Amino acid sequence: MKKVKILSQNELRGEYKRTDFTGPLARGKYAKRLRKASNIVVLKPDVAAAFPNEEAVNKALQSLIAVAQATMSLTKRSNVRGKKSRAA
Report the pLDDT value the prediction gives residue 17, as an integer from 0 to 100.
76
- Domain that residue 60 falls in: 29-87
| Whole-number pLDDT of residue 14 | 73
Domain count, the chain: 1
The answer to whether residue 18 is domain-embedded is: no
Buried b (16+ CB within 10 A) or exposed e, 49-64: eeeeeeeebeeeeeee
Per-residue pLDDT of the chain in tens (88 residues, 90 and over written 9): 677 666 566 666 777 777 777 777 778 888 888 888 888 888 999 999 999 999 999 999 999 999 999 888 765 555 666 555 555 5
What pLDDT, on a 0 to 100 scale, did the predictor assign at position 4?
A: 67
Q: Is residue 45 a part of any domain in this protein?
A: yes
| pTM (whole model) above 0.85 | no
Q: In angstroms, rounded to a whole number, what is the distance separating the alpha carbons of residues 41 and 58?
A: 12
